[in-house]
Chains A and B, each alone.
Chain A
Amino acid sequence: MRLASLLGQRRNGPGRPLHWTDIAAYAYLALGVVLMFGPVLWLVLSSFKTQSALLEFPPSLLPFAQVEVTVPGQPQKLPLFRTNLPDGSVRELAQVRRIGLVAQMVDPADPAKQFRVAIDKREPVRRVAFATENYSEPLQRFAFLRFLFNSVFVTVVATLITLLINSMAAYALAVYAFPGKQTATLAVIGTLMIPMTIILVPVYLVVTELGLANSLWAVILPGAATPTGVFLLRQYMLTLPKDLIEAARMDKASEWQIYWRIVMPLTLPALAVLAIFSIMWRWNEFLWPLAVLTKTEVYTLQIALNAFQGELQTQWHYLLAMTVVTLAPVALVFVFLQRFITTGIGSTGMK
C-alpha cells in the first residue's frame, strides 16, 4: 500500500530536473531501508529455518530443507539427492543408508533398482520450506502460551487501569478549580522527573510489603499512574468548551456522568494515543519485570525471551521463532496505526 503511493506520487512534478542532492537523498534512504528493515526480515526468514540449516555457514538467504520422499518398500521417508552416476547421467535418487564413504541409493520411481554411490558424487535436493515446528514446538515445550497470556494480561489490564485513573486525574485538573490544584499539577510534573530506574529498590520493597511479589500485579500496578498520560489528557481536555460541561450540569448530570458520558467520549482521540503508548510500554517493559518476577510461571514474554537466550544458546531456532511472536503484535499495530502513531509522537514529543 505504502509502496504503491511511493511509486504513484510525483512530488517533483514534471520538468523539474533532479539535483544531485536528490540522488544522494534517495541513496541514503535506500541504505536506510536495508539497514532498518533488513535485520528484521533476516530474523523472520531465519526463524523458519530448521536447526541444521541454522548451523550452516555461510547461511542461505531463504529457509531450505532437504526433500524427503516415500519409497514403496521402505519403512521411513528417505532423503533425496541429485546424484552423478558413473555412466555420466544425473538422477534424483533417495538414500536408503550410508556405509562409510558409500551410500546405498534407490530410484523412487523404480524402487527395485538400487545404486551404490560415493558420497561426494551426490548433492542434497533442497526446496524452500518453512520449519513451522519452530513455532509449534515451543508451545508445548516451554509454557510459551503461559508467557504469552501473562504479557497480554499485563498489557490489557495495566492499560485499562492507566486510562481510567489518568483520565480521572486529568479531568479533575482540567475542569475544576479547587484549592491545591497548583500543588497537584506540580506533583505530576515532579513525578515526570522520577524514572523507574532510580527507585527500583524501594518500589520492590513496597510491592513486597503489599504482598504482590511474584504476581502479575507487581508488574501492573507500579507503572499504572503515568504522569505523561495525565498531562496528555489534561491538555486535550482543556480544549473542550466549558459550555458543554455547564450545559451538562444544567441537564442535571452528576459529576461522574459529566466525566463518563460527556468528557470521556470527547477525549477519545487523546485516549487512543495514550492507549497505544501504554500498550507499547507494557508489552515491551523489561527492567522492572526482570527485577520483580523471579518465578517462571509469572514471566512475561520479554523476561522469558531473556531467560531463554541464556538457556537456549544452542537452540536458536526456538529463540528466533519466539522473538518473532513477541515482535508480531507490535508490528501489526504499527502497520495499521503508523500515521496515527508518528503524528502522535511528533505533536506530543513523548515516547
Chain B
Amino acid sequence: MSDTSSVSRPERGRGIGTLAELRSIVTLPVELGMRLFDPPMRWVQRMIGARRMAYVFLLPNFVFFGLFVFLPIGINIVFSVTGGTALFPSQRPYVGSDQFAYLFDCGSYLDPATCREDHFWRAVANTVKFVVLQVTAMVLLSLVTALVLNMRIRGRGFFRAVYFFPVLLSPVVVALIWKWILQRDGLLNAAITTLGGQKIIFFVDPSWAMFWAVFVSVWAHMGFYTLILLAGLQAIPADLYEAAEMDATPRWRVLTHITLPLLWPNMIVVIVLALIKGAQTFDEVFVLTGGGPGTATLMVVQYIYETGFSSQVQNFGLAAAASVVLGIVLFVLTLLQFAAARRKEI
C-alpha cells in the first residue's frame, strides 16, 4: 500500500521532504496493520462469511473480559466459600458460609471491638465515615466551584484548568506532595509556628489523620466533579436566564429557582459517582497514612489487599468474602447510578 501512496502523491518542493518523512512514520504502523492482519482476516472472512466477522472482531476483547473479569468473578465466589491457604481453588476445602459468618461475627455492629474480625469492621466504620465526610465536602465544594466558574469571569479556562489538573496526578504523587507539606518540619507547621502556634504532628492523631485523608482526596478529585457539574450548568438554556432577567428576578432566586433545580439530575450523578469511588478509596490514603495511626484510617479495600496479599498469613478466603460484600454494596450503588443517569436523560 505504501508504494501506491507514494505514486499517487505528486512531487512537491524539497522543503516538504521532512514533512513527507514524518507522514510516512505515521502511516507506517497503519500500513503494517494492513499487511499484518489483512491476509489472515481475509482468509477467515472467506471461511465464515462477511456477516460472521463480527464475532472475530469481538473475540480478543472478550477473551480478555473472560480471563480477567468473568472467570475471576466465579473464582471469587468459590474462594469466599472455601478455606485454607492454598491459592488454587481445587485444593481448597469447602467451608460453606463460614468465611461470611466469621466476618459477620460481632457482639454489636456499632462497636468494632466486639467483632471477631475487628479489623474488617474498623475498616467498614472508617470507610463509612470517610465516604460521608468526603462526599459531602466534595459535592459542596465542586458545586460552589462550578457555580463560580460558570459566572461571567475572565480567565475561566485558566481557573478550570487549575481546579482540574490534580485529577490527572497519580495517587502516590498526590499523597507524597501532601505528606511533604504535612510532615513535622513541613510547610504547614512552619506557617503555624510563624503565627505563634505549636507544631502539630498530624499523622499520630486519629482525627487529624482522617481529616487529612478526606482533605487530600477531595483536593485530588473535586476537579472531576466540578467538570461534570459545569457541563450541566452550561447545558441550561441561556434564554431561561434572559427570561429571569426580564422578570427582574434577584440573583439568589435565579440560583434557587432556576439553576439548582435544573442542575439536580447532574447532582445526583455526581453524588452517586462520588459514593462509588469513595467506597473504593485506597491508594491516596494508603500512601498518606498507611491506614494509621493504628487502624484509624484503614479502608475496606486496604483491608482486602492486606488480608489477601501482604499479611503474614495470606487469607484469600477472607479477602474474597470481604470482596463479595464490597461488590454487593457497589452493585447497589451502580444500579442507583444507572437509575440516576436514566432520569437525567428524561
Task: Establish whether A and B are touching in the complex (CB under 8 Å).
Answer: yes
Residues on A close to B: CB < 8 A?
2-3, 5-7, 9-12, 19, 21-22, 25-26, 28-29, 32-33, 35-37, 39-40, 42-43, 46, 55-59, 164-166, 168-169, 171-173, 175-176, 178, 180-181, 184, 187-188, 191-195, 197-206, 208-210, 221-225, 230, 249, 254-257, 259-261, 280, 283-284, 286-287, 290-291, 302, 305-306, 309, 316, 319-320, 323, 326-327, 330-331, 333-334, 338-339, 341-342, 345-347, 349, 351
From B12-20, B30-38, B101-109, B116-124, the one touching the partner chain is B30-38
A58–B194 CB distance below 8 A: yes
Nearest chain B CB to A317 CB, angstrom units:
11
Q: List 17 A-B contacts (CB under 8 A).
A: A2-B157, A7-B155, A28-B148, A36-B219, A42-B177, A169-B61, A173-B58, A176-B51, A197-B282, A201-B308, A255-B50, A260-B30, A286-B282, A323-B176, A327-B173, A330-B169, A338-B157
Interface assignment of B257: CB less than 8 Å from any CB of chain A: no
B residues 278-299 touching A (CB-CB < 8 Å)? 280, 282-283, 287
Question: Is B263 part of the contact surface with A, judged by Cβ < 8 Å?
Answer: no
Chain A's nearest CB lies how many Å from the CB of B107? 27
Cα-based distance from A207 to B252 in the complex (angstroms): 57
| Chain B: CB-nearest residue to A30 | B159
Whether the pair A256, B45 counts as a contact (CB closer than 8 A) is: yes
Question: Are A176 and B88 CB-contacts (below 8 A) given A200-B319, A206-B68, A286-B171?
Answer: no
Closest 4 interchain pairs by CB?
A6-B155, A225-B64, A284-B170, A202-B75
> Judging by beta carbons under 8 Å apart, are A254 and B173 in contact?
no
- Chain B residues in 8 Å Cβ range of A349: 228, 231, 269
| 13 more CB-based (< 8 A) A-B contacts, given A21-B151, A36-B166, A194-B69 | A12-B152, A57-B185, A58-B194, A59-B186, A171-B57, A172-B54, A187-B65, A187-B70, A205-B75, A291-B305, A291-B309, A305-B176, A334-B161
Cβ-neighbour of A165 out of B34, B60, B89, B194 (below 8 A): B60
Residues of chain B lying within 8 A (CB to CB) of residue A42: 177, 180-181, 187
A35 lies within 8 A of B219 (CB)? yes
A202 touches B320 (CB 8 A): yes
Flag B129-164 by CB within 8 Å of A: 1 or 0 each.
000000000000000110010011111111111111
Instruction: Determine chain B's interface SS by DSSP, over half rule.
Output: helix
B58 touches A254 (CB 8 A): no
Docked CA distance A11–B155 (Å): 9
**For residue A199, which residue of chain B has the nearest CB?**
B72
Minimum C-beta distance from B343 to chain A (A): 14
B28 nearest CB across to chain A (Å): 14
Partner of B319, one of A3, A5, A201: A201
Inter-subunit contact A32/B162 (CB<8 Å): yes
Residues of A within 8 A of B171 (CB): 284, 286, 302
In the assembled complex, the CB of A179 is this many whole angstroms from the nearest CB of chain B, namely 10
A326 touches B172 (CB 8 A): yes
**Distance A198 CA – B327 CA, assembled complex (angstroms):** 6
CA distance A291 to B316 in the complex (A): 13
Pair B69/A254 contact, Cβ less than 8 Å: no
Q: Which residue of B is nearest A187, CB measured?
A: B65
Q: Is the CB of A3 within 8 A of B158?
A: yes
Q: Say yes or no: is B260 at the interface (Cβ < 8 Å to chain A).
A: no
> How far does the alpha carbon of A129 sit from the alpha carbon of B309 in the complex, in Å?
44
CA distance A57 to B228 in the complex (A): 41
- Name the distance in Å between B339's Cβ and chain A's nearest Cβ: 13
Structural contact, A165 and B52, CB atoms closer than 8 A: no
Interface residue? B47 (CB, 8 A):
no
Residues on the A chain within 8 Å of B53, using CB: 172, 176, 255-256
Nearest B residue to A223 via CB reads B68
- Known: A43-B177, A326-B172. Is A202-B61 also a contact (CB below 8 A)? no
In the bound complex, how far is the Cα of B169 from the Cα of A349, in angstroms? Answer: 18
Nearest CB on A from B210, distance (A)? 19
| Chain B min CB distance to A230 (Å) | 7
- Min C-beta distance of A315 to chain B, whole Å: 13
B264 at the interface (CB under 8 A from A): no
Q: Is A260 touching B168 in the complex (CB atoms < 8 A)?
A: no
Q: How far is the CB of A292 from chain B (nearest CB, A)?
A: 9
Cross-interface CB contact of B61 among A165, A254, A330, cutoff 8 Å? A165
| Option from A197, A316, A331 in Cβ contact (under 8 Å) with B304 | A197
Q: How far is the CA of A334 from the CA of B163 in the complex (A)?
A: 12
* Most A-side CB within 10 Å, residue of B41, B54, B157: B54
Give CA–CA (A201, B158) in the complex, Å: 43
Docked-complex contact B153 and A25, CB < 8 angstroms: yes
Q: Which residue of B lies closest to A6 (CB)?
A: B155
- Residue B201 at the A interface, CB < 8 A? no
State whether A201 touches B68 (Cβ < 8 A): no
Residue among A46, A171, A198, A306 with max Cβ neighbours from chain B (10 Å): A198
Contact among A19, A25, A203 for B72, CB-based, below 8 A: A203
| Per-residue A-contact encoding for B59-84, CB less than 8 Å = 1, 0 else | 01110110111111111100100000
Q: A21-B151, A225-B61, A287-B305 are in contact. Are A319 and B165 (CB under 8 A)?
A: no
Minimum Cβ distance to chain A for residue B125 (Å): 19
From B54, B67, B145, A176 is in contact (CB under 8 Å) with B54
Contact A202 B162 (CB under 8 A): no
Q: What is the CB-to-nearest-CB distance from B245 to chain A, in angstroms, rounded to a whole number?
A: 13
Contact B169 A327 (CB under 8 A): yes
Query: Which of A221, A290, A319 interacts with B176 by CB under 8 Å?
Result: A319
Contacts A11-B152, A201-B308, A326-B170; A221 near B38 (Cβ below 8 A) = no
| A346-B305 contact, Cβ under 8 Å, with A255-B53, A256-B45 | no
Contact indicator A200/B154 (Cβ below 8 Å): no
| Distance in Å: Cβ of A94 to nearest Cβ of chain B | 30
- State A284–B181 Cα separation when bound (angstroms): 21
Given A259-B57, A286-B171, A287-B305, A198:B155 Cβ within 8 A: no
**A198: B residues at CB distance < 8 A:** 76, 304, 323-324, 326-327, 330
For residue A290, which residues in chain B have a CB less than 8 angstroms away from its CB? 305
Given A43-B180, A284-B171, also A194-B45 (CB < 8 A): no
Contact for A25 among B148, B160, B194, B326, CB less than 8 A? B148
State whether B287 touches A2 (Cβ < 8 A): no
Question: B61–A201 contact, CB under 8 A?
Answer: no
